[in-house]
Amino acid sequence: MSAVYAQDEYGRPIIIVREGQKKQRVSGIEAHKSHILAARAVANIVKTSLGPRGLDKILISPDGEITVTNDGATILTQMEVQHQIAKLLVQLSKSQDDEIGDGTTGVVVMAGALLEEADAMLDRGIHPIAIADGYERACNVAVAHLESIADTVPFDKNNTDMLMRTAKTSLGSKIVSKCHDKFAKMAVDAVLSVADLERKDVDFELIKVDGKMGGSLVDSVLVKGVVVDKDFSHPQMPKELKNCKIAILTCPFEPPKPKTKHQLDITSVEEYKNLQQYEKDKFNEMVKQVKDSGANLVICQWGFDDEANHLLMQNQLPAVRWVGGPEIELIAIATNGRIVPRFAELTPEKLGFAGTVKEVAFGTTKDRMLVIEECANSRAVTVFVRGGNKMIIDEAKRSLHDAICVVRNLVRDNRIVYGGGAAEITCSLAIEKAADQVSSIEQYAMRGFASALDAIPLALAENSGLSPIETLADVKSRHATENNPWLGIDCNLKGSNDMRKQFVFDPLLSKRSQFLLATQLVKMILKIDDVIMPGEIEG
């Protein structure tokens, strides 16, 4: 089987596959070309999702599940690409997502633009290693320039204005942009609730994001505590409890069973009654141990049968069953309680405390959830998202994750650069100046890097319905004449290109990471000149 490259009537490359011919291995410049073609194809898919007016993609999984998103990392992860180089771009967006949490689309678009510029330089006979070295040099100039133009934003728990504005920039391109004030506030409050500002550390384990269908995005709330998708085990148990001392158990409410392979035969009514009495006594003993510890609410990882449930009800001991492992750990952290594996080990010191535990019902359905508030450890929070369908809730959760990560990054390093392509344009001009001082062939690669940076503002202008080249040329000329590094693309059509006035910010950590990660990946791709499949080379 062999592949022939051709073009359709619009000049787009197509691949014609011929059966019955031996596959030809591609190496050298042809390999570089095919790698660049694959990477550009992936970058072009996500390019239209960039910016506040970027479009969404609908992704269909192999079992027919639908995902609607414009999150770069989600799109690439669910695409299931087969090409080796395309897989590297997927990993690139994932590493940006894991490390920074935002900017996943931008980093892929930038990598695609760098490879496109490299393609033109390869045609001119410039060696791939020279291109890679020039890109590295240009990246260092760009990162140094970013740090020189970065502004420091002061904030504390009482002054969150700049954190709010940066979170809004992250949410501007998401499905929640219609109520991004509310979501930005929830993201900022959630991070500041769990942040240690002295150590500049944010514990993500204490932030839980949960969702429930029904209601609109406006009904989403930040709960200072834990929300669990469970209800009280008996319908007649009270729906709201105050000043709860919580026993958190990982042992079941049931009598111990013989841990052997022997079977127990009951041959008479007396024996059955004795067994029944034994089970009842054992259960009463368990309830007594819980009550003696001072607990007035039991949260159990395992279930218990109807008889046990009835006895708990009779003993006025409210209980919640089948609470999962991660949730029970979060409840233990929030209430400052200890998870107890055996009833004999239950002591008053191991109980958790919560001011209020209530069961909340939704709409006309029987859906109920348990809300645990006013916990002993007030740092644990839950962002509870509402939405019309599962897709909206899932996308809102992804958007919130990005916003929470952006605020977390500002807690770690409170320097910002300006969005809307302003940072890329000013870095592009700085690299072109630096390239004039370079006498080696690397200056071509540096100018290529500067041109590649223009891909971000070009995509932003195109996605906003503006004339891309005309808009970019106008902003670049103003950058040069006014020496103003805050001018970017007016994506929201507010009539001003000054991103400082529009309050469009990006954390310096995020932008710097985009430049470094994209450059590293492109350097690696440029150094690959052959792909060898198993069993291709025969003796």
- Catalytically active residues are 71, 104-105, 402
DSSP state of 156: B
Contacts of 271 (CB under 8 A, 6+ apart): none
Closest CA to 275 of 289, 261, 255, 305: 255
How far is 152 from 166, CA to CA, in rounded Å? 13
Residue 438 CA, distance from chain mean position: 40
Beta bridge partner(s), residue 18: 2
Reading phi first (left if > 0) and then psi (alpha if -120 to 50, else beta), residue 432 is in alpha
Amino acid identity at 323: V
DSSP per-residue string spanning 16-84: EEETTSPPPP-BTHHHHHHHHHHHHHHHHHHHTT-STTPPPEEEE-TTS-EEEE--HHHHHHHH---SH
DSSP per-residue string spanning 313-382: HHTT--EE----HHHHHHHHHHHT--EESSGGG--GGG-EEEEEEEEEE-TTSS-EEEEEEEESSTT-EE
Helix 128-149 vs helix 508-526: angle between axes, to the nearest 10 degrees?
180
First to last CA, the chain: 21
DSSP per-residue string spanning 490-525: -TT--S--BHHHHT-EEEHHHHHHHHHHHHHHHHHH
How far is 38 from 86, CA to CA, in rounded Å? 6
255: helix, coil or strand? coil
7: helix, coil or strand? strand
How far is 351 from 361, CA to CA, in rounded Å? 27
Q: How far is CA 287 from CA 112, 162, 298, in A?
A: 64, 52, 10
Q: Which stretch of DSSP H or E encloses residue 87?
A: helix 84-99
How far is 78 from 66, CA to CA, in rounded Å? 10
Helix 390-412 vs helix 161-171: angle between axes, to the nearest 10 degrees?
140
Does residue 467 contact residue 489 with C-beta atoms inside 8 Å? no
Residue with tokens 């529009």: 502
Kindly state the tokens that stand for 181: 């004030």
Q: Parallel, antiparallel, or unpaired for β 297-300 and 221-223?
A: unpaired
